[in-house]
A and B are shown apart, each in its own frame.
Chain A
């Protein structure tokens, strides 16, 4: 019993330390700029929603959130649609060049985005996709699709092949088997994959900023605007930052029961 109390204290301390910087951001977002710069206060003394008001009443601010949500959703859908059949192929069949293909896919997850920055810009400009949501969604597929294939392959390998064979004997066609029987069995794997695709697309900034200018600009790029002629508008910056945490919280709430398994990419 003594020991478990020690563990509880340890984990509590870690989580408190983890949350302190976030609390500080939240704390600042409810303060006026005078209070922020006037001196250190541990909680907002003149509680104000002004900073959030600025964001929610200015389309150029809140459109950033909408843009980010649009390309992230597109990316998750595209990633799942192409990764599901591919992961099935990798988990069930041996085919020409499968191992090399798998490593090549993974190697793209390892490519530093900085390497591809300029070519991406030129590629998407030349096909007229610059500053569109789909451009960012496609660019993010570069690292999300390989990861998705990797995670899904792990989950699919856990389903015995007898299920596939049984379904064929029962007269199911492949598409029908795949959608009606197979996908429900790896539900949690799909949820976890969607979570990861969401997460990496949501947090990425470098590519998203390079491929957009006005119409599809992500919130992360708009945040740099708070640096004005009169210095940094700390309050609004903090409010904008705080708001970017909410979508992630919602998503993790939905997959909380599968997170542990998913973080090991189905490989424990």
Chain B
């Protein structure tokens, strides 16, 4: 619908603006301030210009965790999006069964993230966890605290377990919005199941899929708590993702300047990718 030009609408937005500015701009300025200084203690800070930025960009540990982060986010999207669509297609359409499915699917989303880590920490252990014990009984040498591959597998599985329901619920709501007439027309045309999916369901899912990809990218890119609780970033630093590297640097080593410079670069990456998605969404909205 056409919107009315009216600058007084700012008054309605003002509370949000003030609130978010308070929690976003002040900290952001602090980060910018840190990023150009070398801080030894209270009152002992020296201006160093862009030195931290140059150092961060060439820092091997950061580059490694950045690559790891992209691999992880990519794997998350590749597994969760198709699986989520598949689950949504299998869900019952109406009635008590549909409600039940919705509620059960949503459970993992409502568990605090550290508890998610705890659940998998317990579940994956060889001695007291069903999953780890089961794999060992089946003859696999599975140990997520000792083996890099197993650790990655467990972290990925945990994330799939945790977030695939979100993708599924998004797609489910997209599927529900398709008018029944579309399916009837397809039946008259004797369209195959694949054709129905490819030419009716998938195009109609486009909007919700963009949202799903956006949310999953952002959240997997910021992941911290779950792998921290599960593996502590190990073995070695094989499952240490960006947020954890950053937090260790800022709080563990109190390396404020470097951490701040790194934060800004981190934020810029997320911002850039999100901007791409956002443009895609508004573009799709306009077309409708």
Contact = CB atoms under 8 A, between A and B. Distances in A.
Interface string A36-54: 1100101000000000000
Contacts of A10: 86-87, 90
B127 interface: yes
A202 B110 contact: yes
Interface string B76-116: 00000000001101111000000101111111111111110
B161 interface: yes
Contact of A22 (B24, B107, B133): B107
Interface stretch (B5-13, B50-58, B141-149): B5-13
Interface in A135-175: 138-139, 141-142, 145-146, 149, 157, 160-161
Interface string B244-288: 101100110000100100011011001100110010000001000
Contact of A220 (B28, B112, B278): B112
A249 B104 CA distance: 9
B112 A202 contact: yes
A198 B120 CA distance: 23
* Interface residue SS majority, chain A: helix
B19 A141 contact: yes
Sorting the interface of chain A by its residue count into under 10, 10 to 19, 20 to 34 or 35 or more gives 35 or more
20 contacts: A10-B90, A15-B105, A19-B107, A24-B129, A36-B128, A90-B13, A95-B5, A108-B23, A110-B271, A114-B222, A114-B242, A114-B244, A115-B246, A119-B26, A145-B16, A202-B112, A245-B107, A259-B106, A259-B169, A260-B172
Interface of A: 3, 7-8, 10-11, 14-15, 17-22, 24-25, 28, 36-37, 40, 42, 78, 81-83, 85-86, 88-96, 98, 101, 103, 105-120, 122-123, 138-139, 141-142, 145-146, 149, 157, 160-161, 199, 202-206, 219-220, 223-224, 234, 237-238, 241, 244-245, 247-249, 251-253, 256-257, 259-265, 267-268
Interface of B: 1, 3-10, 12-13, 15-17, 19-20, 22-24, 26-28, 30-31, 86-87, 89-92, 99, 101-115, 118-120, 122-123, 127-131, 133, 161, 165-166, 169-170, 172-174, 176-177, 193, 207-208, 211, 218, 221-222, 224-225, 242-244, 246-247, 250-251, 256, 259, 263-264, 266-267, 270-271, 274-275, 278, 285
